[in-house]
Amino acid sequence: MALIKVNALEKIYHDEAVLTPVLRGVSFEIKEGEFVAIMGPSGSGKSTLLHLLGFLEKPTSGEYRFNDRTIDEYSDEEVARVRNKKMGFVFQSFNLLPRTTVLENVKLPLLYSEVDQGLWDNMARQAIESVGLSHRVDFEPSQLSGGEKQRVAIARALVNNPQVIFADEPTGNLDSKSGEIVMDIIQKLTKEKGHTVILITHETYTAEYAERIIRLRDGMIESDAKVTKRSFGSEFIK
């Protein structure tokens, strides 16, 4: 079943009299449980597309359906609820609160949920365990490596058991070894947990963890192909 359907999506930014088209008639579907990478050079529109898919912005024209409802069919209250319960976000800059423990950082999304407060600690600890950081539960971000910080961010995205996880350049601030650990964890989310993952990246080695790669250029889809093998640099999609 298609969790996300995008048809002729366009986004144009207005700055006084200047119009800047960023997305130009983008169309695709993403099935529930699929791991899709969206690639493209700087300025190709990939981050804008993530903002639209994550209900952070609205398109200028075209249609975006999430769970078979268009974004216009959701009230502002429903949009907030969907983003909290159905979507998890992982960003390049981690966005962790300083001087706050790993446990408290991971619990943050639960503050805005309908989950009984008595369950928060257990849910957060399970999410932290799933990224292999139970031994860091009482540490603060300043005591963690970059890779560990990103794993905390992934645990925070997981704590509400969302349908879809949006990962925006999650390895951008990491060395190659830490990046591989983070991508292994993200890959397992689809294989073992059934989460839908949408990865925004400009790195081929990161994108090849996905099952499918959508390439953007100048706001349009250049290609949409399945990954057939991991080959670190050679052609691996068809």
CATH number of the domain within which 219 lies = 3.40.50.300
Quick check: 42 pLDDT over 90? Answer: no
How many CB atoms neighbour CB 135 within 10 A? Answer: 10
> Has residue 5 been placed in a domain?
no
Number of domains in the chain: 1
User: pTM score, two decimals?
Assistant: 0.91
Q: Answer whether 166's CB lies under 8 Å from 4's CB.
A: no
> Has residue 153 been placed in a domain?
yes
> Has residue 40 been placed in a domain?
yes
> Has residue 126 been placed in a domain?
yes
> Has residue 236 been placed in a domain?
no
Beta strands in the chain (DSSP E): 2-15, 18-31, 35-39, 61-66, 69-70, 87-91, 164-168, 196-201, 212-217, 220-226
Would you give the distance in Å from CA 122 to the centre of its chain? 24
How many CB atoms neighbour CB 175 within 10 A? Answer: 11
Confidence class for position 191, pLDDT limits 50, 70, 90: confident
> Has residue 19 been placed in a domain?
no
Q: What is the DSSP string of 34-46?
A: -EEEEE--TTSSH
Would you give the distance in Å from CA 236 to the centre of its chain? 23
Which residue, chain included where needed, has tokens 């950082």?
A: 105
Tokens of 22: 């960023």
Expressed as residue numbers, the domain containing 85 is 33-58+76-226
> Has residue 238 been placed in a domain?
no
> Has residue 27 been placed in a domain?
no
Tokens of 28: 């695709």
Mean pLDDT on 184-204: 91
Maximum distance among all Cα pairs of the chain, rounded to whole angstroms: 55
Mean pLDDT on 109-130: 92
45-75 residue pLDDT tens: 999 999 999 999 999 999 999 999 998 899 9
